Amino acid sequence: MKKLPTGLQVFEYIRTSGAVYVDKTDMIYNIVSDARKQFFVSRPRRFGKTLLCWTLNALFSGKRELFEGLAISKTDWAWESYTVIHLDMSEVNTLDGPAGVRSSLVRRTEKIADKHGIDLHCETDPGEMLATVIVELAEKHGKPAVVIVDEYDKPFTDFYDKPKMAEDVRDIMRGYYGRLKSNEPHMHFLFMTGISKFTKAGVFSTLNNLNDISLEEDFGTLFGYTQEELAEYFGEHLEVVAKKQDMPVGELVEKVRSYYNGFCFDGIHKVYNPFSMLNFLQSKEFDNFWMESASPKIIADYMKGKNLTVEQFRGMVVSRDFARNPGEIETAPPQSFLYQTGYLTLRERIDHEFILDYPNTEVFEAMSALVAQNIIQGSGGDYFDFRSSFLEALRESDCELLIETINCLLASIPYDDYANAAKQGRRISKEKLTVQEWLYRSTILAFFRGCGVLAFGEMHSNQGRSDLLLIYRNIPWIIEIKVAHNNDCRAKAEEAMTQINGNQYADPYKNAKKLAIAIDDKTRQIGEWIDECAGSACVV
């Protein structure tokens, strides 16, 4: 059984260490043999952009032995060697602001020049230095160079929450990358990757010759693992995990599909994030690896700073133009920021529009947990205490403890901060909900999901839609929420239970528990609740 390439990004090391390499060289061949010679592709972090850059480096360096047995070895590729300028922009220093970025570019370009014995003639402008390196390398070797730029946008996306500094850094990078356009005759091939999308009004305003393949169907699976690749390359590892989890391989695969599959970059193909899958196969446990691979505090602070709920982005319709050019990451609307960073993905394509949604259970649960933690910890509460009480209530079917936990959660909601989010969610969802009802329901739902419980909002039956459905240890709970505005909590709780029974929300489920709750909008607490299970009822 080949070892997992967990944490490995250099193609040469993966191929010489005996680790699994998922062969994407058929698509790579289609890129490098294309009449087009300047390419750009955007993908979220941890999707293998760096691995692709190192693969291209090895390919254009003529290291044919590394590609033996791969798809490209069976093509007519000429295996000619070129000088490769490999720029990893994630290594640029951003801690010292725009001045630090500029100094870092100078040092890194000087290092490339020194490696190839090129005199920069005391040049101090980083863009001019890069141009000198490209031109003199081409002249020195008698053939144009290959330029690979990985994470082109890292220097300015680090300032996503400081728009002015981001724009200053973008100006610096625009001058640097602009030399790639002016020296096109001295380059055989140019390939750039990044998180943020190609926008001709931004850094690429002077580099408008790039071919953006980010949405092209032919390259929809260039990054990530398809379901077929998962089975072909990691089948033995899945068998090991299935044995540890004590379940049939087929059942494990379906659970893995639900939890980790679903990223989509062309509106057609779905893929797994490699980082999550490799860590899952390594640890043999389901966990939220992708969200934890960067700093989850950044996205938590972003959600909190923008007063965002989780529900407001579900099933959002966007245009193809948005998918291709959603704007600069630090000034774009929240759906653009979340889309470009991978927290939202394309779900399906309908004519010239796409549906945006969370890619899978891993991301959805992690986002829900972040929002719930923001709410609870913002009021001085302990999220993990809340979570423990909630799970105990479900295990013991203790409705009183469940209501107590939900009331503690409701008491934590900073209503002034979240009022705008509630209004936005109501408008996006196109549902006739009061601001309060939307806020209560979305907060409770986010908390349930953040606790790792299977929970759904607006579940359809043949008679209507229940507010919440949660399933824990194969026990379904049907929950209907009403907001009482005039001290009529009892009547509202009864109305909620009547709705559950009258619309037969519980009928599709065996041994379902029914819970009707009425939230007093003055106290912001559950004033009355009705628990009906197996024909009995408890009214508080």
pLDDT, tens only, 70-112: 999 999 999 999 999 999 999 999 999 999 999 999 999 999 9
Say if residue 441 is in the same domain as residue 460. yes
Written as six digits, the tokens of 440 are 């209560």
Q: Are residues 419 and 461 in the same domain?
A: yes
Q: At what angle do helices 49-60 and 25-32 cross, to 10 degrees?
A: 60
pLDDT band at 31 (very low <50, low <70, confident <90, very high): very high
Q: Could you tell me if 93 and 164 lie in one domain? A: yes
Q: Answer yes or no: is pLDDT of 50 > 60.
A: yes
Length of the chain: 540
Checking if the pLDDT of 389 tops 90, the result is yes
Q: Are 453 and 468 in contact (CB under 8 A)?
A: no
Would you call 84 helix, strand, or coil by DSSP? strand
pLDDT (0 to 100) of residue 428: 47
The C-alpha atoms of residue 488 and residue 467 are separated, in whole angstroms, by 20
Select from 158, 193, 178 the least CA-distant residue to 329: 158
Residue with tokens 């936990």: 405
**Burial class (CB within 10 angstroms; exposed 0-12, middle 13-18, buried 19+) of 247:** middle
Residue 349 lies in a domain: no
pLDDT of residue 536: 39
DSSP β-ladder status, 270-272 and 261-264: antiparallel
Residues contacting 67, CB < 8 A, separation 6+: 15, 25, 58, 59, 73
So what's the pLDDT on residue 293? 74
pLDDT tens digits, one per residue of 227-261: 999 999 999 999 999 999 999 999 999 999 999 99
Alpha helices (H) in 325-465, listed in sequence order: 334-340, 361-378, 383-395, 399-412, 415-429, 435-450
- CATH number of the domain bearing residue 82: 3.40.50.300
For the chain, what percentages of helix, strand and coil (3-state, to nearest 5) are there?
Answer: 50, 20, 35
Q: What kind and span of H or E run contains 40?
A: strand 38-42
Q: Are residues 241 and 212 in the same domain?
A: no
Same domain, yes or no: 22 and 71: yes
Res 315: pLDDT:
84
- pLDDT value of position 254: 95
**Is residue 83 a part of any domain in this protein?**
yes
Give the chain's domain count.
Answer: 3
Q: Does residue 352 fall inside a structural domain?
A: no
The closest alpha carbon to 475, from 531, 513, 514, 530, belongs to 513
Both structure tokens of 194: 């990044």
Task: Give domain status of residue 360, yes or no.
Answer: no
Chain mean pLDDT for the chain: 88
Q: Confirm whether 326 is domain-assigned.
A: no
Cross-sheet strand order for the sheet of 536-539: 454-460, 465-472, 475-484, 513-520, 525-533, 536-539
Same domain, 188 and 251: no
Alpha-carbon span 169 to 453, nearest angstrom: 43
- Looking at residue 19, what DSSP letter applies? B
**CA 493/CA 66 separation, integer angstroms:** 68
171-185, 231-245, 402-416, 448-462 — most confident range: 231-245
Residues 276-329: pLDDT tens digits? 999 999 999 998 898 777 666 778 778 877 777 787 888 889 998 888 888 887
Residue 325 located in a structural domain: no
Q: What is the pLDDT of residue 402?
A: 94
In angstroms, the CA 297 to CA 434 distance is 31
Are residues 406 and 392 in contact, defined by beta-carbon separation less than 8 angstroms? no
Q: Judge if 191 and 87 occupy the same domain.
A: yes
**pLDDT at residue 413 in the model:** 78
In single-letter form, the type of residue at position 509 comes to Y
State residue 464's pLDDT score. Answer: 53
Give the model's confidence band at 538: pLDDT under 50 very low, under 70 low, under 90 confident, else very high. very low
Tens-place pLDDT, residues 172-223: 999 999 999 889 999 999 999 999 876 655 666 666 778 999 999 999 999 9
Q: 207 with 234, same domain?
A: no
Structure tokens at 104: 């870092």
In a shared domain, residues 82 and 212: yes
Residue 363 lies in a domain: no
Specify the pLDDT at position 433: 58
- HSE-CB for 348 with a 13 A CA cutoff: 3
The predicted structure's pLDDT at residue 535:
39
CB 413 within 8 A of CB 373: no
From residue 94, how far is each of 91, 330, 396, 399, 422 by CA, in Å?
9, 15, 51, 51, 36
Q: In the listed set 197, 216, 235, which residue is the last one of a domain according to the structure?
A: 216
Question: Is position 197 within any domain?
Answer: yes
> Of 216, 246, 278, which residue is a domain's last?
216
**Statement to judge: residues 493 and 426 lie in one domain:** yes
Q: Are residues 175 and 233 in the same domain?
A: no
Same domain, 194 and 121: yes
Q: How many Cβ atoms from other residues are within 10 Å of residue 58's Cβ?
A: 19
3-state SS class at 485: coil
Most confident of 43-57, 403-417, 501-515: 43-57
Q: What is the pLDDT of residue 97?
A: 95
Range of the domain at 246: 227-287
